[in-house]
Amino acid sequence: MPNWLLQLLTWWNGQTLNTRFHTWRNGELVGKDEFGNLYYQTKNGAVDPALGYVRRWVIYSGVTDGSAVPTGWYGWLRYTVDTPPSQEDYQPRDWELPFEANQTGTANAYRPAGSTLASGQRPSATGDYQAWTPGQ
């Protein structure tokens, strides 16, 4: 399906036509992450009169998923840091893991021991549980 048709008929694939128009009229591109997401703020850093601060937003590449925002950009979007990752020279520490999108609902999701999805069967009871009976 063509991209313009997806934007016309859906809201979860990238941006809607209204968001495209608002971004074209009021936004300036600040940067792009490794997943193709585009980050914007109000033109020339202008303060949004309705909010009282500079508005920031993201246009997702593909399906809209809030967990697909890398840590540096997440901090910038939430006003934790003022400098966007595209304007700084940050080098990750040795102990920092690369970004990984939320795996909930996929085959790679975490399934703890005892989960019926982990092995397909519930493990047998271990005997460490005493059922409560009223009046005892």
As for how many domains the chain has, the answer is 1
On whether residue 110 sits in a domain, the answer given is no
Instruction: Tell me the residue type at 29.
Output: L
On whether residue 99 sits in a domain, the answer given is no
Mean pLDDT of 21-32: 89
Is the pTM higher than 0.75? The answer reads no
Encoding tokens for residue 111? 């399934």
Percent of the residues in the chain that have a pLDDT greater than 70, as a whole number: 82
Does the pLDDT at position 41 exceed 90?
A: yes
**Which domain covers residue 63, as residue numbers?**
3-87
pLDDT of residue 55: 93
On whether residue 8 sits in a domain, the answer given is yes
Encoding tokens for residue 20? 């495209």
Does the pLDDT at position 38 exceed 80?
A: yes
Does the pLDDT at position 8 exceed 70?
A: no
Does the pLDDT at position 119 exceed 70?
A: no
On whether residue 126 sits in a domain, the answer given is no
pLDDT of residue 61: 84
Predicted confidence (pLDDT) per residue in 46-81, tens digit: 998 888 989 999 988 877 777 888 888 888 999 998
On whether residue 131 sits in a domain, the answer given is no
On whether residue 134 sits in a domain, the answer given is no
pLDDT of residue 123: 63
Nearest-angstrom CA–CA distance, 31 and 53: 19
Nearest-angstrom CA–CA distance, 88 and 75: 13
On whether residue 60 sits in a domain, the answer given is yes
DSSP states of 101-131 as a string? ---TTSTTS---TT-HHHHSSPPPP-S----
Residue identified by tokens 């209204």 is 18
pLDDT of residue 34: 87
On whether residue 80 sits in a domain, the answer given is yes
Mean pLDDT of 87-96: 80
The answer to whether the beta carbons of residues 35 and 68 sit under 8 Å apart is yes
Mean pLDDT, the chain, rounded, equals 81
